[in-house]
Structure 1
Amino acid sequence: MSDQLIRAHVRLRDVTRRALARLDDETGDVPGWVLITLMTAALVTGLWAVAGERLTSMFEQALDDVAGGP
């Protein structure tokens, strides 16, 4: 019985040590961030293609309102 407990303890200690090593790993998830960046760029490009003229006119109107223009 004691021998089995020692083996179980050693296995549990090894598993715990490996889990803690993975938590300390700070390399990050590069493919995930690349995907998020590409999806954001695609959304901005799509919005610009669909509503570019309206966004530009809204921006110019806001600048005119701040500057006190016509």
Structure 2
Amino acid sequence: MGNTALLLVTRLHLALVAPRQRDERGDVPGWVLVTVMSAGIVMAIWGVARQELTEMLRSALNSVQ
């Protein structure tokens, strides 16, 4: 009877706790997608407003000197 109880507890643990531990790893493809999309947005903004951003940076650096 001891082995049956141990088997039952082990199966219950695997059914209830083990999937939660796997779910806590995070969604790696989701994070990769967010990173790629963020880089794409930055490149799009840089392509449209490169001149203005460059002037703002030069102005800020010149005001520090």
Query: TM-score, normalized by length of structure 2?
Result: 0.68
Residue segments in structure 2 that go unaligned for 5+ positions in a row: 1-7
Give the Cα–Cα distance (whole angstroms) in 1 for the partners of residues 14 and 60 of structure 2.
Answer: 58
Aligned residues: 55
Say what the alpha-carbon RMSD is for the aligned residues: 2.1
* Alignment match, 2:37: 39
User: What is the aligned counterpart of 1:22 among 19, 31, 34?
Assistant: 19
> In percent, how many aligned pairs have the same letter?
44
Query: TM-score, normalized by length of structure 1?
Result: 0.64
User: Highest CA radius of gyration, 1 or 2?
Assistant: 1
Residue segments in structure 1 that go unaligned for 5+ positions in a row: 1-9
- Structure of higher RCO (CA pairs closer than 8 Å, 6+ residues apart): 2
Runs of 4+ off more than 6 Å: none
Give the Cα–Cα distance (whole angstroms) in 2 for the partners of residues 18 and 40 of structure 1.
Answer: 38
